[in-house]
Amino acid sequence: MKALVMYGKKAGMVEVRDVPKPMVKEDEILIQVKAAGVCGTDVDFWLGKNSHLLNPPVILGHEFCGVIVEVGDKVKEWKPGDRVVSDNTGYVCGKCRFCLTGKYVLCEKRKGIGYGMDGGFADYVKIPGEILQRFSGCLMRLPENLSFEEGAILEPACNAYRAVFQDISINPGEAVVIFGPGPIGLFCLQMAKIGGASKVIIIGTQGDETRLSLAQKLGATTINAAKEKVIERVIEVNNGEKVDIVIDAAGPPIVMKQALEIIRKEGHIVKIGWSADPLNISLDSLIANSITRKGNWGYDYISWKNVLNLVRENKIDFNSIITDILPLSKWKEAFMKIRDKESVKIVLKPD
């Protein structure tokens, strides 16, 4: 079968290869991939970043869904023909404090399907038996009203759900600022609206114009930091007041600096965006203003379960966020478009 393989940890070590179709053991499941989302992390891998997560040679693609085509003799819960989505957990230890409290995504030994083990940028992907034993919630049924393309981008929506409802709890009527109009930022916008936010302000910068107009369409007030004064505009839009919640889905140090200037006393800041750059600012205002600052990594079973419930009620717009659907063979075009911010979310389908 054709698969997009990262064959080393250095930049550019990615190519489509012919690899054997995975063999299924008695407790394993084989999924025919129908669609897989390109994540910023995939592009980072290709650019040589975040390579500590990789276990090459490995098939990339950690946001995928499809149809079960084969199950081992011992698999009772699933059958061929089931439409499924994976939360990309491929291995956890089952013994650490995080596994034992259901926080599998935080397991130190966790391997993600699509970087730690073979993923969904391929015709087929295998779900190992061990993970189905240890954490049966790693595989979920795709709701009937969701297409495969939409299902392929559930993962960032779950990430946003966790940031807005589990890391902090938004109260109806609160004002939310989101830095970074990428897919996770746009899902955070939708979650904030679902949570009853009075105002959602999305801040982008140079090159984010397409993404900002999409944010407007989804109901946000937008600010382009390349052209407008962020602090003044936020306060002005929010009727002269500081905001209740800031979500940093961008990453650079300047964002945290600005977040501290626009957040009210006892407000909440959630950081999802990565940056290797040092912060270089005083955090004293966290103390002076009793601010909560929380890092967000991933999601848990509750995030997935509740997002799937929202999906069944048609509460989340996935289609607006998917700007391109391309065959797997055009992966490089897709990766470049994400790198250059020409697209919001791209879904790849096997050729």
What three-state secondary structure class fits 34? strand
Distance CA 120, CA 167 (A): 28
- Nearer of residues 93 and 254 to Zn ion, judged by Cβ: 93
CB 109 to Zn ion: min, Å: 5
Q: CB under 5 A: which stretch of 92-100, 216-224, 270-278, 290-298 binds Zn ion?
A: 92-100
Do the beta carbons of residue 298 and residue 184 sit within 8 Å? Answer: no
Helix 183-194 and helix 154-161, axial crossing angle in degrees, nearest 10: 50
- Nearer of residues 92 and 157 to Zn ion, judged by Cβ: 92
Q: Name the H helices within 153-300.
A: 154-161, 183-194, 209-217, 230-237, 253-262, 284-288
CB 60 to Zn ion: min, Å: 10
Do the beta carbons of residue 78 and residue 85 sit within 8 Å? Answer: no
- Residue 179 token pair: 């830095």
- Nearer of residues 92 and 186 to Zn ion, judged by Cβ: 92
- Nearer of residues 1 and 96 to Zn ion, judged by Cβ: 96
- Nearer of residues 286 and 325 to Zn ion, judged by Cβ: 325
Paired sense of beta strands 63-71 and 124-127, if any = unpaired
Q: By CB under 5 A, tell whether 54 contacts Zn ion.
A: no
Q: By CB under 5 A, tell whether 96 contacts Zn ion.
A: yes
Q: Which residue of 93, 237, 286, 302 would you call a contact of Zn ion, by CB under 5 A?
A: 93
Q: Residue 184 CB: number of other CB atoms within 10 A?
A: 25
Site size with Zn ion, rule: CB under 5 A: 7
Q: By CB under 5 A, tell whether 89 contacts Zn ion.
A: no
Distance CA 267, CA 289 (A): 8
The length of the chain in residues reads 351
Q: Which residue of 39, 105, 122, 201 would you call a contact of Zn ion, by CB under 5 A?
A: 39
- Nearer of residues 67 and 96 to Zn ion, judged by Cβ: 96
Please choose, from the candidates 117, 113, 64, 115, the residue with its C-alpha nearest in 3D space to the C-alpha of residue 88: 113
199 phi/psi in degrees, rounded to 5: -140, 135
Site string for Zn ion, 273-312 (x = CB under 5 A): ----------------------------------------
Distance CA 10, CA 46 (A): 8
Helix 301-312 and helix 154-161, axial crossing angle in degrees, nearest 10: 110
CB 77 to Zn ion: min, Å: 22
Q: Which residue of 22, 24, 28, 41 would you call a contact of Zn ion, by CB under 5 A?
A: 41
CB 38 to Zn ion: min, Å: 9
Q: By CB under 5 A, tell whether 347 contacts Zn ion.
A: no
- Residue 304 token pair: 């997935």
- Nearer of residues 106 and 286 to Zn ion, judged by Cβ: 106
- Nearer of residues 71 and 270 to Zn ion, judged by Cβ: 270
Q: Which residue of 5, 29, 107, 154 would you call a contact of Zn ion, by CB under 5 A?
A: 107
Binding site for Zn ion (CB under 5 A): 39, 41, 92-93, 96, 99, 107
